Every structure is written in C-alpha cells, then in structure tokens.
Homo-oligomer: A and B are copies of this chain.
Amino acid sequence: MNKTVDFYFDFSSPYGFFSSEVMDEFSLRCNCEIIWRPYVMGAVMKLTGRKPLVQIPMVNEYSARDLDRVARYHRIEFSVPSVFPISSVAPSRAFYWIRNEFGSEKAKQFAQAIFRAYFVKNLNISKPPTVVEVATELDFDTKAVNDALENPEIKLKVREETDRAIEQGVFGSPFFIVDEEPFWGHDRLNHVESWLVSGGW
C-alpha cells in the first residue's frame, strides 16, 4: 500500500453510501489503504448552520433526482429511505465496538451492511434493535452488540471520533483526507484518485 485515505462519513448520508459501495474497488485501483471513519454529522451541522439538502427549497427536488441518477450511474441498488435523515449514533457505536474487538476489515463489512440496510432495505438504522439485527446477521453476538451500544467507553469513542473529525476540518459526508489534503463529496473521488496517482498538483 502506498498511501492511506481517511474516509469520513455519516451513516445517514446517501452520498456516503455511494462512496462506501465503490471504496473497495477504489482501494485496489489506487493501491491505497482506506481508513473508514464514521462520525456523527449532526454535531457539525450545528457548528456550520447548514441544513440537510432535503430541507432546502428547490435543492430538495434536484437532490432526489441526482441521488437516483448517481445510483444508476454506478449501478448501485438504492432507494431514498422513508425516514430521512436520521441519527447515526447507534450504528457508529456498533462500528467502533466491532473495530476494537475484531479489527478494521470486520468493521468495514459491518459499515457496508448497515449502509445497505438503510439505503437498500429501508430499515431505520437509528434504532438499536435494527443495528443489532444487522450485526447478528454478520455473526456478531446479539447480547454483546446490545451491551456495546450502551457501553460508556464506546459512547465516548464516538464522541471523540466526531470531535477528531471536526478538528480535521471535516464538515460533510463523504469527506476524504489524503496527505492532509481535504476533499469533500462523492464527486471529488476523481480528484482524490488523481492526487494519489500524481502525488498532488
């Protein structure tokens, strides 16, 4: 592996989902390691005063159309969830617990599964029972996941990771950092790729 790419995202972000679906291929193609870093974007929205796109007149209609179009472009199965946006606290806790206990690869698989639960199967992943169900399907222990969601250390870890994201200047999802260079948005992945290949410009 040449470089690492910090991949920041919020589990309720549709463009974050699209990136999550192409990240494995991206990693192989660019010969880079991806560090998956879920954080809770709600905390940042308060700092920036920004609103979710779906709450902005005119932008909301465009946004729905763009999401469907980007999904078709990548041939990714996708539908706008019936409850949107939602809190990503519970799935973020489960992610960091899995990473602590079982490592990055397992945590990545969980992240991909949680994203699909929300954006393909229309399950409300803000609810702890849904998070537990998704984790159980991946063979994690039901009781252990349930406990993890209420574990004070894990709760703290999610807050710390969110603070860390904000310190790094992260305010959107997805958001990539390579060589301390920040790239905001799924549609900047081509620039991230060019940056990795060329060493910057």
Contact = CB atoms under 8 A, between A and B. Distances in A.
A182 B62 contact: yes
Q: How many copies of this kind of chain does the complex include?
A: 2
Contacts of A72: 201
Interface in A182-201: 182-185, 187-188, 190-191, 194, 201
30 contacts: A44-B58, A47-B58, A48-B56, A48-B57, A48-B58, A48-B59, A49-B56, A49-B57, A50-B56, A50-B59, A58-B166, A58-B169, A58-B171, A59-B171, A62-B169, A62-B171, A62-B182, A62-B184, A65-B182, A66-B183, A66-B184, A69-B191, A69-B201, A70-B191, A73-B191, A73-B194, A73-B201, A185-B187, A187-B188, A190-B190
Interface of A: 44, 47-50, 56-59, 61-62, 65-66, 69-70, 72-73, 166, 169, 171, 181-185, 187-188, 190-191, 194, 201
